[in-house]
Structure 1
Amino acid sequence: MWGTTPTIPAATVRAVNRLTARWAHATATTGAPAAIAPATPELGAPAGTVLSAAGLWPLLGFLADGAAGTARAELEEALGLRAEEAAGAARGLLAALSAIPGSAAAVGLWTRHDLKVREEWRSGLPETALGRLGGDGPEADQRRLDAWAAKHTDGLIPSMPVPVREDTELVLAVAQALRTRWIRPFDAGRLSPETGPWAGRELVGLRRTTSLLDRVGVAETAFGPLTVLRVLGNTGVDVHLLLGPEEADGGAVLPAGVELLSGARKAVPGDLLPLGTPGPGLRVEIRRSTSREPRLHVSTTPFSLTSDHDLLAHARLLGLSAACVADPAPFPGVSEAPLVVEGAQQTAVARFHARGFEAGSVSAMAAVGCGLPHTPYRVRSVELGIDRPFGFLAVHRTSRLVLSAGWVAEPVPYDEGDLAHLYDDDDEDEGWGG
């Protein structure tokens, strides 16, 4: 139906997932410098963080291709590969992201008309029109760049994260977006947690039941057991919901979820878990049923997150410290004129609802249940309740590349009038699979 599955080199997957884990840990443990924007009105105003290393990594790769000295070495460390390989790997990743059904990726480069960009560097970028800055003022430039961001994220991100100023010489940006529909949708209703930080609140809940117990598992980590639920999308992109012990924050939970993808740790699937409470949010019992099939009952909450990340707040981690220093010029391979990074930002969005998931990012740098039925069977029953802060990873199923990652700190308050929005009933499906 969708043609060939994109092939992403294992080295690239490892490198991007490594950056995801490191960035997620740093963002959580330093007090989350990302600004959390209000959620869409129909989903209330939950808080948390979302980021996309998959959207940032290609931008760092193109920068490394034109960098020298300390800036080049820092970018190599952030990327996890040599600078001479970076542009090719970045092009390959962008092509693979665009080949995933329901996904798209694009690069944009804009320069001031009198800036001479080295052709050998520019040719390392995917074929894309070279935009110009400064022709009719920064306001007009900003409108053009905002329109580019909106176009290449299908409206998820309406503006370019970095501002265009009178002295801006160059803007390089990478946009990435994905949409998928759940193979098995959720039902929306009310969720009322009895314990934990969300106890006593009336929240929007999402519920569904399946006989596939292996959709949930428990892995042992350095901070204790981690419960992982895989929600399968119909485009080959799944979302992994991650629930750790109550004291574990996103800085621990998200890297542990990424580590599971590498195979370094293994999760025990639901059909092999012991009876009782083997993992956070889980209860495993033997119950009477009308069917011979086992049951996995899941309840969780939707989320809608938007984060604005100042990439220079983690400049060393992301390989950008020396890129901001003029002496020596960090990017001689980009232009004959000396350039330094003036600003670097990422805006990232993620939305999880009853029927599917969507996420997008733009990374940019500027230089300058009735009755009592007959129950003859005794079956294995697994219940998972995600009713307190949790993490998520959007994962390309085949390669295990993390496309988006985040932490849900606040739930959606219950409002019966808002439930219809959780089903996306307008079916504006141009970007959706299936």
Structure 2
Amino acid sequence: MRGTERTAGTATGPAASWTPSVPGGTVRAVNRLTARWAAALPAGPRGTVLSAAAVWPLLALLADGAAGPARAELEDAVGMPADRAAEAARGLVAALDRIRGSAAAIGLWARPELPLRERWVAGLPNASLGRFTGDDTADKAALDAWAAERTGGLIPAMPVEIDEDVLLVLAAAQTLRTQWLQPFWEYELAPESGPWAGRHLVGLRRRTALLDRVGVAGTPAGPLTVLRVLGDTGVDVHLLLGEEGAAPGAVLAAGVGVVGGAHPVVAGDALPLGEPGPGLRVGHTRSATREPELAVTTSPFDLTAEHDLLASAAVFGLSAATDRDHGHFPGVSDSPLAVAQARQAGMARFTRDGFEAAAVTAIALAAGGAAEPRLRYRVRRVELDVDRPFGFLAVHRTSRLVLSAGWVADPVEYAYEPYSGDGDDEDGDEDWP
């Protein structure tokens, strides 16, 4: 790409320490897309990570420029009328960029010969704007550099290919970092049952007197244990443990429902004795203080994933928009356009000290025909995968906006250090810190 980037739109408001107010309608719409996406995840043995917050603004902006069936489908996916979607997208991106430890950006690149409607371009939220040079290799390298820069190197490449058919790329980048208010301690975890049985893994553990950090909710997926791990930036990570055999997508969707208040939670201090929820045991123990005790063990994770959004096009309102016999976005350009690619690359890392996540979503548009678009019907397929031990949601504490979500299926193997001959108990056990 030649020249320097310019900016469309201007972000306004207080400094980054300000806690953003995301309208409740936007929060519900983004969380609804998270649940739809989770419910449509294919079954498989590997973990995954996804961010509807890094997809929703792009769908909303496309809805604003769409017509016909494509507009109707995008309205359904974003959960609001298209004529309100662009404004909501601008507000969401601004809010994401003002959450402490979070950043968000929009990028747009187009062929020089592609005319763009000034109203639509001017409505993009604080976007980086560029023109392709015609050298596909150089243009892809420039897009990769943008993705890496906007995510601090967490996502090194834009998840779409650039070729002569691609006329326009609309992209969103999102990053999130937070440190735990109370760190964990590492230890060797050796599960005796379940899919990780017999393996020696890195475990995390900690104790607290705050019993309300854990609770059990009754959900359509069955009882769900929810552990809330608080971060220092106003972003928390909710770990979700469902019943053995519960569908991963259903448990994630149920977790989104818990965040939104659809499924009431019974907190740890009100749970009955026994085993009131998955992974929980409630009883009495002797202690040197009067404070109650919540003892937590879990596993760290380091996940990466790439999603082809067109594999579940109906979830994202992109079924009609992919019909290249027609143009679907007259509000974007006088030239007929159709969606050719839509992908997201994401990562999430949960350690003893904190959490970080990033996602880059890119939607590439190619030439479409000039005839009126026609409606297509596709059936969503949901498959079950019971091999993933737990899911997670990264949630903005004030607004309840889900920023990132995923499943942990590949635990971290424990690496033994050379024996030093001192510092261990005779029986090899460690005391809880």
* Among 346, 349, 353, the residue aligned to 1:348: 346
Give the aligned partner of residue 43 of structure 1.
Answer: none
Q: Secondary structure at 1:287's aligned position in 2?
A: coil
Equivalent residues of 1:198, 1:388 under 8 A apart: no
Structure 1 window deviating more from structure 2 (190-199 vs 206-215): it is 190-199
Give the aligned partner of residue 119 of structure 2.
Answer: 120
In structure 2, relative to structure 1, the CA distance for the partners of 1:115 and 1:153 (3 Å cut) is same
Matched, 1:16 2:41: no
Matched, 1:256 2:254: yes
Residue type at the aligned position of 1:97: L
Residue type at the aligned position of 1:74: E
Q: How does 1:101-140 map onto structure 2 within 5 Å?
A: 101-135=100-134, 137-140=135-138
In structure 2, relative to structure 1, the CA distance for the partners of 1:3 and 1:218 (3 Å cut) is same
Residue type at the aligned position of 1:394: A
* Among 133, 144, 158, the residue aligned to 1:160: 158
Cα distance, 1:167 vs. partner?
Answer: 2.7
Give the aligned partner of residue 425 of structure 1.
Answer: none
Q: CA offsets, 1:282-310, max 9 Å, x none?
A: 11111111111111110000011111000
Residue type at the aligned position of 1:146: D
Give the aligned partner of residue 177 of structure 1.
Answer: 175
Give the aligned partner of residue 238 of structure 1.
Answer: 236
Q: How does 1:192-211 map onto structure 2 within 5 Å?
A: 192-211=190-209
Residue type at the aligned position of 1:93: L
* Among 365, 368, 378, the residue aligned to 1:367: 365
Equivalent residues of 1:389, 1:410 under 8 A apart: no
Cα distance, 1:128 vs. partner?
Answer: 3.0
Q: What is the TM-score with the length of structure 2 in the denominator?
A: 0.86
Give the aligned partner of residue 67 of structure 1.
Answer: 66
Give the aligned partner of residue 394 of structure 2.
Answer: 394
Cα distance, 1:267 vs. partner?
Answer: 0.8
Cα distance, 1:326 vs. partner?
Answer: 2.9
In structure 2, relative to structure 1, the CA distance for the partners of 1:92 and 1:234 (3 Å cut) is same
Where structure 2 has 5 or more consecutive residues not aligned to the other structure, the ranges are 1-14, 367-386, 419-433
Matched, 1:332 2:330: yes
Q: CA offsets, 1:99-119, max 9 Å, x none?
A: 100000000000011111110
Equivalent residues of 2:221, 2:250 under 8 A apart: yes
Give the aligned partner of residue 421 of structure 2.
Answer: none
Q: Secondary structure at 1:59's aligned position in 2?
A: helix
Residue type at the aligned position of 1:15: A
Equivalent residues of 1:110, 1:130 under 8 A apart: yes
Residue type at the aligned position of 1:342: A
Distance in 2 separating the partners of 1:31 and 1:63: 29
Residue type at the aligned position of 1:411: P
Q: What is the TM-score with the length of structure 1 in the denominator?
A: 0.86
Residue type at the aligned position of 2:74: L
Distance in 2 separating the partners of 1:96 and 1:75: 22
Cα distance, 1:222 vs. partner?
Answer: 2.4
Structure 1 window deviating more from structure 2 (354-363 vs 405-414): it is 405-414
Give the aligned partner of residue 55 of structure 2.
Answer: 56
Residue type at the aligned position of 1:71: A
Q: How does 1:23-42 map onto structure 2 within 5 Å?
A: 23-27=37-41, 30-31=42-43
Residue type at the aligned position of 1:21: A
Distance in 2 separating the partners of 1:336 and 1:134: 21
Equivalent residues of 1:324, 1:340 under 8 A apart: yes
How many residues are treated as equivalent by the alignment? 384
Distance in 2 separating the partners of 1:315 and 1:172: 17
Distance in 1 separating the partners of 2:119 and 2:18: 32
Equivalent residues of 2:216, 2:276 under 8 A apart: yes
Give the aligned partner of residue 426 of structure 1.
Answer: none
Q: CA offsets, 1:42-89, max 9 Å, x none?
A: xxxxx3011100110000011111100000000000000000111110
Q: Secondary structure at 1:398's aligned position in 2?
A: coil
Q: Secondary structure at 2:245's aligned position in 1?
A: coil
Distance in 2 separating the partners of 1:355 and 1:255: 27
Distance in 1 separating the partners of 2:29 and 2:115: 32
Cα distance, 1:250 vs. partner?
Answer: 1.2
In structure 2, relative to structure 1, the CA distance for the partners of 1:314 and 1:388 (3 Å cut) is closer
Structure 1 window deviating more from structure 2 (73-82 vs 222-231): it is 222-231
Give the aligned partner of residue 427 of structure 2.
Answer: none
Give the aligned partner of residue 382 of structure 2.
Answer: none
Percent identical = 64
Q: Secondary structure at 2:207's aligned position in 1?
A: strand
Residue type at the aligned position of 1:143: A
Q: CA offsets, 1:162-196, max 9 Å, x none?
A: 01112321110000010000000000110011121
Equivalent residues of 1:346, 1:362 under 8 A apart: yes
Give the aligned partner of residue 82 of structure 1.
Answer: 81
Distance in 2 separating the partners of 1:252 and 1:193: 24
Q: CA offsets, 1:140-165, max 9 Å, x none?
A: 00111000001111111000000111
Equivalent residues of 1:134, 1:166 under 8 A apart: no
Cα distance, 1:2 vs. partner?
Answer: 6.3
Distance in 2 separating the partners of 1:410 and 1:354: 17
Cα RMSD (Å): 1.6
Cα distance, 1:249 vs. partner?
Answer: 2.4
Equivalent residues of 1:306, 1:349 under 8 A apart: yes
